[in-house]
Amino acid sequence: MNRTAATTPRRSPHAGRNADVERVLIPEDRIARRVARLARQIERDFAGRDLVIVALLNGTVVFLADLIRHLSLPLRLDFIGVSTYGGSTRSGALTITKKLRLNLRGRDVLVVDDILDSGRTLRHVLARIRKLRPRRVRVCVLLEKKARRKVRVRADYVGFRIPDTFVVGYGLDVAERYRNLPFVGVLRSDCYPRA
Ligand code: IMP
Ligand code: MG
């Protein structure tokens, strides 16, 4: 008999990370319902168009995977890599870590990002995309923190408007961690990396 298995409590694979979460801000089921609704709106607005989705790496991976499975439009997917935060929650210099590959000229483009915070990242990406002469550009974000906007940029589709708190999960990270939490939550203050 394997005595260790019988006597040691089994830890859930999320236990370690969930213990770092102070509170769940948006639970999984609410996210799922909202993402499905966003997709229906996008489908209506882009019906009959040859859509190119441009997603920002890395924070969109979970949201994007769920969103596109609800879209029955013909679409192509491209990624742009933008790094804003040098491993902490403080805003840093903006660098392009992966360039676009698809030709966007004359296309209907939907830019997907995880969160609209100061707006600097999206403004920079939108300026780059517009230079490629697409027919139309729309922006979809999972989260928006209105209070923190520093530059003028608007999202056409917003999953949730949230207060000015740093959140993780459902793709969002702090120092590349916690992206795999299935909900959006707030960490315990002692779980942030020191600047
Ligand atoms: P912005 O350029 O200030 O709008 O920042 C956008 C980027 O900062 C997002 O794509 C995120 O990667 C990151 N970010 C902003 N707020 C949060 C947050 O609360 N949690 C995790 N990442 C965030
Ligand atoms: Mg990030």
> What confidence tens digit (pLDDT) does each residue in 20-72 have?
999 999 999 999 999 999 999 999 999 999 899 999 999 999 999 999 999 99
Q: What is the pLDDT of residue 195?
A: 60
Measured CA to CA, the distance from residue 91 to residue 102 in angstroms comes to: 29
* Mean of all residue pLDDT scores within the chain: 90
Q: What is the pLDDT of residue 193?
A: 84
Measured CA to CA, the distance from residue 173 to residue 94 in angstroms comes to: 17
What's the CA-to-centroid distance between 60 and ligand 2, angstroms? 9
35 neighbors 63 (Cβ within 8 angstroms): yes
Going by the DSSP 8-state scheme, the letter that residue 162 receives in this structure is -
User: What confidence category does residue 18 fall into, taking pLDDT thresholds of 50, 70 and 90?
Assistant: confident
183 neighbors 32 (Cβ within 8 angstroms): no
Can you tell me the mean pLDDT for 112-129? 96
pLDDT tens string 125-136 = 999 999 999 999
Q: What is the pLDDT of residue 14?
A: 55
Q: What is the pLDDT of residue 143?
A: 98
Can you tell me the mean pLDDT for 5-11? 50
What's the CA-to-centroid distance between 103 and ligand 2, angstroms? 26
66 in catalytic set: no
Q: Whose CA is nearest to atom 11 of ligand 1?
A: 115
For residue 181, the SS3 value is coil
Atom of ligand 1 nearest to the CA of 120: 2
Q: Whose CA is nearest to atom 19 of ligand 1?
A: 166
Q: Rg for the chain (alpha carbons), in Å?
A: 18
Indicate if ligand 1 lies below 6 Å from the C-beta of 143.
no
What's the CA-to-centroid distance between 120 and ligand 1, angstroms? 10
User: What confidence category does residue 92 fall into, taking pLDDT thresholds of 50, 70 and 90?
Assistant: low
Q: What whole-number percentage of the chain has pLDDT above 70?
A: 86
User: Given a cut of 80, is residue 152 above it in pLDDT?
Assistant: yes
163 neighbors 145 (Cβ within 8 angstroms): yes
Atom of ligand 1 nearest to the CA of 150: 3
Nearest ligand by distance to the CA of 166: 1
113 neighbors 159 (Cβ within 8 angstroms): no
